[in-house]
Chain A
């Protein structure tokens, strides 16, 4: 089955700085890669996604890059704000399944 690794597990940045979270996957059949933000006690919330026929996607302060050859993808958050503090999960989807990375706890220090 698919194996998704995510780094780092914790990340602290100063407000206004950038944050980068990286994931790798193992199954070459995966071709959809969503990123989720999860606040304590709440459901995961999709923040951005990318398909394997695209190398990069941007939505305001959030961007995702995908290197299908190397089987890795990354989340970039620029101009971080305190409300960006949460746990972020990457996921990879082959067929109809979704496999999550282990999560990154992001703290933005005001």
Chain B
């Protein structure tokens, strides 16, 4: 009965090698979020989708892209991962804005 699923849970990539992280939800929520959380830091919002509308945070690097092909799925693409992109990536959903978020278990990205 998992509600927000992230795959893979652990991802290892090489410096500069593109990587895609995936998130799916069974809640039929219309808002989906991607956060980056580095060790001992707070989750940092990268972008969110409200339905199909993509909203990028002003300080999200161009290296990060996202796709939402349908309500259930959302992908995070890192085009050329650097060592500084090693982090936990959290996906979250909410029914509408300013309502409870449901987090996935996260994908821990290691960049070699």
- Chain A positions near chain B (C-beta within 8 angstroms): 1, 31-32, 34, 42-46, 49, 51, 89, 93-103
Specify which of B41, B57, B98 is in contact with A93 (CB 8 Å cutoff): B98
Q: Would you call the interface of chain B mostly helix, strand, loop, or mixed?
A: loop
Question: Are B97 and A43 interface neighbours, CB within 8 A?
Answer: no
**Known pairs A34-B100, A43-B105. 10 more at Cβ < 8 A?**
A1-B57, A31-B98, A44-B90, A49-B100, A96-B31, A96-B50, A96-B55, A97-B48, A98-B92, A102-B42
- Chain B positions near chain A (C-beta within 8 angstroms): 31, 33, 40-45, 48, 50, 55, 57-58, 90, 92, 94, 96-101, 103-106
Note all chain B residues with C-beta closer than 8 A to A96. 31, 48, 50, 55, 94, 96-98
Question: Are B97 and A93 interface neighbours, CB within 8 A?
Answer: yes
Question: Are B97 and A95 interface neighbours, CB within 8 A?
Answer: yes
Closest to B98 in A: A32
Whether A34 touches B101, Cβ cut-off 8 Å, given contacts A44-B90, A96-B31, is: yes
